[in-house]
Amino acid sequence: MTEQNWEKRIAYLGPEASFTYLATQAIFPSEWLVPCATIPECIEAVAEGKVDLAVVPLENALEGSVPLTLDYLFHEATLYVTGELQLKIQQHLMVNKAQKDKWESIKGVYSHPHALAQCHKYLFYRFSDVPLHQTTSTAAAAKFVSENPDECIAAVGNAAAAERYGLDIVQSNIHDFHFNHTRFFVLSKQNKRLPQELSEGQAKTTFMITLPTDRSGALHQVLSVFAWRQLNLSKIESRPLKTGLGDYFFMIDVLADEKEPMMRGAMEELAALGCKVKSLGTYFTYLTSDEA
């Protein structure tokens, strides 16, 4: 797609064939996808209006949250979530074709820290003495291995990356647990939502809540605000406020639309309790198809 006829520019954690790329491409097959090297670069690109949307990883079923995404959304940017994408994650060990016969003597394994952690048991038992090197994404690791044919090294990533960078998969499905999925946020400067069609239909709202200073029972009160209204929470996580030890903000996902009367009431009550609430908006979840 050329610059003249694109409808939307969408930044994603690249390069091409990262898991973020697969999730983005599945839901935006004909938009102009713009690779960024890091999560902050993706977020800045949308915050500065260089792109219309940005897709960043948020949480993995095995490894938990991506702290950089949560912290950047709380501390650095005022953006909204327009949709959530979920992708099944399958990790493979891949090498340069020039090194295929020697793959069992690899001298280094490259990948995104989440991907290395998802394959911890395999890498620990099979290659305990081999150093692990972190890259900005799994696709960046695959690209690096493809650009260094003389080095006996491997990357961990998806099958699309092996194909895109001309690598050979020497061990398939090396992630430690079968159920391996990642959530991604589609971010925008506007509080809009992607259409409900094609989503799984359940509205979800994400709040970032700061409690009033050190009052006993404050978190309990916050949870009660949602509980007595029968507003179902699907996630709660604390992250450091970065103002001192023991200071946190809470990220809470509520399975409801922020326009519902019960949700409005909850917001009013939280304000009355002295909480600061940053809403990232209401959005739907899209289950993107399995890895190519």
Chain positions contacting ligand PRE, by CB under 6 A: 13, 18-20, 57, 60, 66, 89, 112, 114-115, 137-139, 182
Q: Whole-number minimum distance, CB 53 to ligand PRE, in Å?
A: 16
Q: Is the dihedral of CA 84, 88, 93, 94 positive or negative?
A: negative
Name which of 41 and 258 has its Cβ closer to ligand PRE: 41
Residue 21 or 226: which CB sits closer to ligand PRE? Answer: 21
Closest to ligand PRE by CB, 182 or 282: 182
| Residue 192: CB minimum distance to ligand PRE, A | 24
Rounded least distance, CB 217 to ligand PRE, Å: 35
**Smallest distance, ligand PRE to C-beta of residue 174, A:** 13
Q: Given the complex with ligand PRE, which of 102 and 181 has the nearer CB atom?
A: 181
State how far the alpha carbon of 235 is from the alpha carbons of 59, 224, 232, 251, 255, in Å. 11, 15, 9, 8, 9
Residue number, 66 or 159, with CB nearest to ligand PRE: 66
In angstroms, what is the minimal distance from the CB of 46 to ligand PRE?
17
Instruction: Convert the chain into a string of H (helix), E (strand) and C (coil).
Output: CCCCCCCCEEEEECCCCCHHHHHHHHHCCCCEEEEECCHHHHHHHHHCCCCCEEEEEEEECCCEECHHHHHHHHHCCCCEEEEEEEEECCCEEEEEHHHHHHHHHCCCEEECHHHHHHCHHHHHHHCCCCCEEECCCHHHHHHHHHHCCCCCCEEEECHHHHHHCCEEEEECCCCCCCCCEEEEEEEECCCCCCCCCCCCCCCEEEEEEECCCCCCCHHHHHHHHHHCCCCCEEEEEEEECCCCCCCEEEEEEECCCCCCHHHHHHHHHHHHCCCEEEEEEEECEEECCCCC
Taking the least distance from each CB to ligand PRE, the nearer of 55 and 263 is 55
CB of 61 vs ligand PRE, minimal distance in Å: 9
We find the least distance from the C-beta atom of residue 114 to ligand PRE, in angstroms, to be 3
Distance CA 94, CA 100 (A): 9
Q: Which is nearer to ligand PRE, 21 or 127 (CB)?
A: 21
